[in-house]
Chain A
Amino acid sequence: MSRKPNARPADPLDPSSPEAVVRFDGVSMRYGRDAEVLKDITFELPRGSFHFLTGPSGSGKSTLLKLIYLAEQASRGRIEIFGRDLALLKRADRPLMRRRIGVVFQEFRLLDHLTVFDNAALAPRIAGRKPAAYRGDVADLLAWVGLGDRMHAMPPALSGGEKQRLAIARAVINRPDILLADEPTGNVDEAMALRILRLFTELNRVGATVLIASHDSDLVVRSGMPVLNLHEGRLAQAPGFNPELDG
């Protein structure tokens, strides 16, 4: 992999980075006629950065992630992913962009009728790669996340932690440019949480831009990574963010 590692942590609230892979400019979001879930959000994620997204339940963390992985469309404002304005993105181009974004969902969203191996192999399969070209990678990755002996199991037979690791394996198998995770440590014990954090750090080290929504304050503090803090739909710099250290 030849991507540039996370060498230049930046202040995400300073929209000046020429290498931003995610850029929000005055973005608001409401579902139907309800009140706005996100209000006038402006930030950017430089290529190869690693951020936590924190905030209480209902603050809009999941909605912000959905906007990045193209599951929702902003009500107002401008979003650029990989330099492309999502409002101008053709429907036919959305799948190609999604293939560059790995997502670990809070509720996993595994396909219960497929084996662990089939679930993990979903992204390269959809990308049209031949099975022989990726099955070795899938097996290696599953072994790496500790599911080497569970490859033929079905998701309903997995524990919460195993499901979590499978969801992570599925999200990273294609080596995405952006990795999003919504409460990835919500269902695992502390040891597993640290292991998952190490996994994300490894992926970030080889070039992935990582954004993790979490309200696990211990994990956030322990990671030492910069934080985007949402409160009632508005973005504020987290108290723990240190511009001198991170920016």
Chain B
Amino acid sequence: MSLVFDANRWWPAPLLPREDGRDWALLFVVAALSFLASLAAMGALAGERAAVGWRTELVGSATVVVRAQGTDTPDEAAARAAEVVAGVKGVAEAKALDAAKADALIAPWIGGGALPPDLPTPRLIAVELDRKAPASAADLKRALQAAGIDADVDDHTRWSAQIMRAGAAIETSAAALFLLILGVLGAVVAFATRQGLAARRDVVEALHLAGATDGYIARLFQARFARSAAQAGLVGALLAVIGAAAVKTLLAGDEQLTALLPIAWRDLAAPAPFPILGALVAAVTARVTAMSVLAGRP
């Protein structure tokens, strides 16, 4: 390499020292924040999917409890009720559970095999509703009453509402966590900008005296922190994606756990905008902070 300086090939060097951009503590914090934000986003998507799945299961079915009346045996009453319910518009299938299954359902409360054989225990009818236009609990109740059958209908609305509330709570929590993380990122960058301006007071002063505007100096810090946030944010997001992919792969054979946390492959793309968003937040925060600090200097 020649040591002769060629002015024609010269290009301006960065005005802020390069080593200032390698603030490992700041990079680590930003990467960690990006990692957490990515997990929150992917978790929210999976949580929402789980809630929707559970609700779909619940709203797609209903349970009818039939009590025998008059001369009907419980089995006869159940069979008749299943026939009536099956004829209601919006019902795909209605099936009376046999006595053994009905007894098994109440066994936890009164004990197995303790029932006298002639005790008129209620019978259950499992109803599968038409997913596109499901019959309502009122429709089923009306049809059963019209047929003179004493029955209660549970279309799981109560559970469904609770699940939807839980799903909404997950989404709200994720959004709040995301905003909190953005706030923390802003605070960290504001602190780092103040530190940078104090540590490089000599550079800032030299630039000011050479005729640099506050905006010109603020832009230097803005660009530096935006670049750092983008780089660290990308690392954090990638680590979160790798972690989520590993969890999905590990859960692949377990239906119960998969139902609890149904991560889809497309969820792994959710953190993609985070490095850009982090860079934007860092840029705006650094600029506002720098302009405010510089306004207090001569």
The interface of chain A, by Cβ under 8 A from chain B, is: 69-73, 91-92, 95-96, 98-99, 103, 109, 111, 113-115, 117-118, 121-123, 125-127, 131, 135-136, 138-139, 151-152, 170
Contact = CB atoms under 8 A, between A and B. Distances in A.
A170 B206 CA distance: 11
B116 interface: no
28 contacts: A70-B298, A73-B298, A91-B295, A96-B211, A98-B208, A98-B210, A98-B211, A103-B209, A109-B202, A111-B206, A114-B15, A117-B5, A118-B13, A121-B12, A122-B210, A123-B210, A123-B211, A126-B212, A127-B211, A135-B7, A135-B8, A136-B7, A136-B8, A138-B7, A139-B7, A151-B5, A152-B3, A152-B5
Contacts of B216: 95, 126
Interface string B182-219: 00000000000000000000110111111111101000
B10 A117 contact: yes
B209 A131 contact: no
Interface residues of B, number: 26
Contacts of A126: 207, 210-212, 216
B11 interface: yes
A158 B233 CA distance: 40
Contact of A115 (B13, B207, B214): B13
A109 B206 contact: yes
Given A91-B214, A111-B203, A170-B210, 19 more contacts: A71-B298, A73-B298, A91-B295, A95-B212, A98-B208, A99-B210, A109-B202, A109-B205, A114-B15, A118-B13, A121-B10, A121-B12, A122-B206, A123-B210, A123-B211, A131-B10, A135-B10, A151-B7, A152-B5
A96 B10 CA distance: 26
Interface string B1-22: 0010101101111010110000
Contacts of A117: 5, 7, 10
Interface of B: 3, 5, 7-8, 10-13, 15, 17-18, 202-203, 205-214, 216, 295, 298
A135 B6 CA distance: 10
Contact of A72 (B10, B211, B298): B298
B194 to A, nearest CB: 20
A69 B202 CA distance: 16
A8 B200 CA distance: 43
Nearest to B207: A126
Nearest to B214: A91
A162 to B, nearest CB: 15
A13 B18 CA distance: 48
A138 B18 CA distance: 23
A125 B7 contact: no
Contacts of A111: 15, 202-203, 206
Contacts of B211: 95-96, 98-99, 123, 126-127
